[in-house]
Structures are given as C-alpha cells and as structure tokens.
Amino acid sequence: MSDREPERRPAEQRPPRMETLARLPVFLALAGKRALVAGHGAAVAWKAELLSAAGANVEVFAAHPCEEIRALATETPGGAIRLHRREWQATDLANAAVAVGGFADDSEAEAFASAGHAAGVPVNVIDKPTYCDFSFGTIVNRSPLVIGISTDGAAPIFAQAVRAKLEAMIPRGFAHWAQAARRWRQTVRASGLSFAARRRFWQMFTAFAVADPDHEPAQADLDDLIARTREQAAAAEAGSVTLVGAGPGDPELLTLRALRALQSADIILFDDLVAHEILDFARREAKKMLVGKTGYAASCRQDEINALMIALAKSGKRVVRLKGGDPLIFGRAGEEIAACRAAGISVEVVPGITAAQGAAARMAVPLTQRRDVRRLQYITGHAEKGGLPDNLDWASLADPGATTVVYMPNRTIGALTAHAVAEGLAPDMPAVAVANATRPEQTIIQGTVADIAARLAARGVSAPVLVFFGLVFEDAAEAADPSALPQRLQFS
C-alpha cells in the first residue's frame, strides 16, 4: 500500500437548505398605516395596543367595548386609536393594512376572514388559527431591536417561557444601542470609510454594546469608534487568518471568542472533524470550504491549504481556519502559522476544547490526581507515513504517575500498547477508548492496556478515536454507569 494518503481538492460546501418553517417571521412596517380591529375583550385590546405601538392608526369596531379598550383609546402607546361603537362591516376593511378580530363564534370568524380576503387584507382571528393569515407570537421588546417567538399555536405557554428566558438574558440597555445604530448609520455611511472598514466599525460598536449594555451611547462614543476604525482601516482592508478551535464536536463547547470569529468571517476553511452544527453559527453569507485531512483517506495537501488560506487573506478576506478540538494540539497549526507569517499575513489563534478534555469531562474522570498522577501527556498514534512514531519516549509512557492520551490511534494502538508493556507499562493498567467524543453517538470502550486494542477492533469503530490509559481510570466503571450520564451516550 502506498505511504501517501489519497489526495482531494478543497471544495466549497454550500449551506444546507432551510428546514421547513411552520411560519415565516415577518416584521411589518405599519407606521401611519390603517389597521382594523373588531371585537372586544382583553385579548382584542392587547392586539390593538401592539398595532398602535408599531405606529399604525388603529380603528376598533366594538358595539360594547370593554374597559381595557376604552382606556386604550384615551392613552395610546403610538399610533392613534379610534373607537367605533358598532359591529364591523365588510366595507370597513377597505384600505386596511391588516385586520384583527376576536370572536367566540366560528361563523363570525369565518365571515371576518372571508371579508378580509375579499378586500385583499391579511387577517388574524385571535385563538382561531384556521382563519389566520399571520400570527403575532410573543415579543421581546428592545425596540428597534425586536424578537418575535412563535410555536405556530402549538404551545403558547412554552413560547412565553422562552420569552422569559430571553428577557432575562438581553439587557434592556440594548434598546439604547439599537436606537444609536439607527441614528448613526447615515453618519457612518457618509464617513468615507470603505466597506470593510464600515463593517469593522459595526463589529467594534457591537463589542462595545455587549460589554457595556447599560452605557448610554453618546456622540463622543460615535466619534471615538470612527477614529478607532480609521486607525484600523489598513488592517481591515488587508485580510487576516484566524485559526479557530471548534472543540471536540458538541456545539455547546464552542467558546465565545470562537463564535465571534465565525460570525465575522468572510470564508471558513474547515476540516472533516468539525461538526456541521458549528458551521450554523457562522454568517449565512460566509463561504464555507471543506479542506479536510483524514487519516488513511482522501485528504487535501497541507501546502495546498496554506496557499489557499494565504491567497484568500491577501485578497482582503477575513479567513477562519476551523479545526476540530484545539488547533494547537495535533492540528498542524505550526505549519499554517509559519506560512502566514512568511507571507506577511496577520494570524491569530483562538483555542478550543481538545477532544481529550471533552471526553474526560463527559465521563467525569479527572485526568490528574493530587498525589499519585501529577503528569498528563498527549501523544499521536501515527507518524507522517501512517505507522507508529519511532521517537516516542517509552519510559514516559510506562510511568504509572502519568495519564496518557493517544490521538489518532486506530491503526497503531496494538503495536503501541505492546511496545509500552515491553518497556515496563503494567499490562493491567486501566485503558479507555472513546469514539466521537462529546457527540450524540459517543461510544466508550473500557479495558486494560493489554486488551484495549482487541476490544476496539472487535467493535469495528471507524470514527475518530482517543485512547486513554492511566490510574485515573481505575474507577471508570462507576463513571461509565449509563444512568449517571446523558442518555445519548453509548457504552460497550
């Protein structure tokens, strides 16, 4: 068999098609437009208040308006509210932007919906989705930042719970920052900054808002942000490369810094080991290219990846090189950093949670112990040509005071453990193999140094694997109790 891995070319990966939507979220511009509301009761009054808050001129038709509607007509939150003390008529719907009705009787609801359709007006009938062209959902209001939440009527209480979570998470001060963005946008456009520099302005604006949401934005803040943007304009035009650790697979283990890098990238070069759910955090318009390197399978050449990365950065693109785990641990980051520096390209590294940390955390097994296990070592299970490395420190691997983690050991774990035992490693030293660490299909195989290779082979695991061995896994049986861990894990 050839020592060289099969080659493949970098390939753009188009984002997956949008999954089915129960409702299309649309934000209507209603300022100064006519909205019709028919019926009475607290729910009707609330819909009239929402429409007025959005700037609509609301006409309410109710023969016997409730107290909430009468009070609302005298104290409106936005657009005018005019109360008609009579039942609605089909002619009332003419020239309305939207129509909302509240009726207990289905026949009246159907008549209202039919009249709206005849007039070309979208209709909402409260609590009767059969007759609705649109729904309101529940709202988190930091206007002009507005978040709408809908369950398509399936679980309104659940939507309210989600809203409560978001209300707690999103500072009220964000409303001031969103208002400032609206005020400043034209000034930024007229500033003479390039497109790339303007984007850098809004990134700094956002970072400022997130870091200090309760600060009241002022003219001095705008002036300072524009000045800082001008200072960084050359860097914004020059392009850059950021090596980002995507973690072992679970999207929830992505760091905040990695998330910000993904959301500012123009192009993402990613490996096969990166979970596709993580790519969902990137800007949808960012180009995504698979430059996978897979052991014993078709792989993109490293020099080709380097050349592509540099060419893209030199064209002014913000390039994210997204790697599974941590880019500085068996990720060939050194070669990519050196190539960028040689080309004069700005390069940054965003660390990630390496697979060993993710797997150990999921098993709740510490990788060191205070008195007995004071050293942790990561080694690679194969050399450049795919065989067992010929320069491993076998005395270190035989040390009972160390925990060893073997990356990429699928083909060589048998030879590695046999050699380590011959060099003094206890054959009954506990060993654990973990495939697909932290992912829903994670699999854990327990054994000893003497039999872990056979156990792994018996399972026929082809997914990315780590092998751990050390005294810390003496109690792994207890940690591997499926009832004590998330149900998505599988144990042999």
Secondary structure element (H or E) that encloses residue 403, with its range? strand 402-407
Say how far apart CA 74 and CA 66 lie, in whole Å: 13
Q: Token digits for 288?
A: 């995504």
Is 326 labeled as catalytic in the residue annotation?
no
User: What are the φ/ψ torsions at residue 158 (nearest 5 degrees)?
Assistant: -65, -45
DSSP helix/strand/coil, 99: strand
Secondary structure element (H or E) that encloses residue 338, with its range? helix 333-342
* DSSP annotation string for 119-167: TT--EEETT-GGG-S----EEEEETTEEEEE--TTS-HHHHHHHHHHHH
Say how far apart CA 16 and CA 279 lie, in whole Å: 10
C-alpha count within 13 angstroms, C-beta hemisphere, residue 16: 8
Q: Using alpha carbons, list the distances in angstroms from residue 52 to 29, 39, 424.
A: 12, 16, 80
DSSP helix/strand/coil, 301: coil
Is 271 labeled as catalytic in the residue annotation?
yes
User: What are the φ/ψ torsions at residue 101 (nearest 5 degrees)?
Assistant: -130, 150
Q: Token digits for 46?
A: 């609330």
Say how far apart CA 264 and CA 207 lie, in whole Å: 12
| 284: number of Cβ within 10 Å | 8
128, 293, 317, 323: the active-site residue = 293
Residue 331 · residue 325 · CB < 8 Å: yes
- Facing residues of 375 across strands? 402
One-letter identity of residue 464: P
221, 271, 326, 399: the active-site residue = 271
DSSP helix/strand/coil, 467: strand
Q: How far apart are the first and last CA of the chain?
A: 32
Residue 297 · residue 4 · CB < 8 Å: no
Say how far apart CA 315 and CA 333 lie, in whole Å: 22
- What are the catalytic residues? 271, 293
